[in-house]
């Protein structure tokens, strides 16, 4: 066994955990059926290939760093030293701000409760999915403040302004379903670029996308 992803999930279970390794096999006629063990809880794995299996986590209480092992017969288990953590489902109650420039860098704050502090920060991120522009989603790392506050900085590189579906995950797989939207605006030009110092000039017209 070489890697597992994600390394944490909700206490209600149901998280799909991908295990990457070597020599996984599925030969039920000989009793060779892969299983996963989360602490003292055993579940049957879905065989995908000789290098990949998938297990659905069983429900469990909130706890960090329980042993995670794999077996091909539910009797002989690996000694991988991998661990898995369970956390209560976070409740996101508010988000601010809800707009920022297309070049990124805006810090978006979320408040709520039950925000877990997990060791693997790569799996804790925000995902920005464009709603009207044909572009793939972008992700940015989440930052833990305390159990009621987190934030992430918006990614840059958007070619146009657009509304985004903004979701948070603490484990790289279970994204929230709060339907938050974040607007990325893009300023292309402003005209005129100069005017009288007495303030009696005409209007300045700013054009771009994503204005609200």
- State the pLDDT at residue 138: 95
CATH of domain 91-187: 2.60.40.10
DSSP reduced 3-state for 176: coil
User: Model-level pTM greater than 0.95?
Assistant: no
pLDDT digits (tens, 9 = 90+) for 51-87: 999 999 999 999 999 999 999 998 999 988 899 999 9
What is the distance in angstroms between the CA of the first residue and the CA of the last residue of the chain?
50
pLDDT of 37 above 80: yes
CATH topology of domain 3-87: Immunoglobulin-like (2.60.40)
Half-sphere exposure of 120 (CA within 13 A, CB side): 20
How far apart CA 148 and CA 101 sit, in angstroms, is 26
Domain(s) labelled CATH 2.60.40.10 in the chain stretch across 3-87, 91-187
pLDDT of 201 above 90: no
CB 98 within 8 A of CB 181: yes
User: Beta strands of the chain (E only): which ranges?
Assistant: 3-5, 8-10, 16-20, 35-38, 41-44, 46-49, 52-56, 63-71, 83-87, 91-96, 99-101, 107-113, 125-130, 138-146, 149-153, 162-169, 180-191, 205-209
pLDDT of 208 above 90: no
pLDDT digits (tens, 9 = 90+) for 94-134: 999 999 998 999 999 999 999 998 876 789 999 999 998 88
């Amino acid at each position: 066994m070489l890697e597992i992803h994600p390394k944490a999930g909700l206490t209600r279970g149901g998280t799909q955990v991908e295990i990457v390794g070597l020599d996984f096999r599925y030969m039920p006629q000989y009793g060779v059926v892969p299983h996963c063990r989360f602490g003292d809880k055993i579940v049957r794995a879905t065989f995908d290939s000789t290098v990949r299996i998938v297990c659905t986590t069983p429900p469990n209480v909130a706890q960090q760093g329980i042993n995670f092992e794999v077996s091909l017969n539910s009797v002989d288990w690996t000694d991988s030293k991998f661990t898995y953590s369970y956390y209560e489902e976070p409740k996101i109650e508010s988000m601010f701000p809800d707009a920022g420039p297309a070049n990124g860098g805006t810090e978006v704050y979320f408040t709520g409760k039950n925000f877990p502090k997990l060791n693997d920060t790569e799996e804790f991120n925000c995902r920005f999915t464009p709603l009207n522009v044909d572009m793939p989603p972008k992700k940015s790392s989440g930052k833990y403040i305390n159990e009621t506050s987190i934030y992430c900085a918006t990614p840059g590189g958007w070619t146009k302004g657009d509304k985004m579906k903004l979701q948070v995950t603490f484990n790289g797989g279970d994204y929230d379903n709060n339907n938050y939207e974040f607007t990325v605006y893009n300023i292309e030009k402003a005209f005129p670029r100069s005017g009288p110092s007495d303030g009696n000039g005409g209007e300045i017209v700013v054009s771009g996308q994503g204005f609200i």
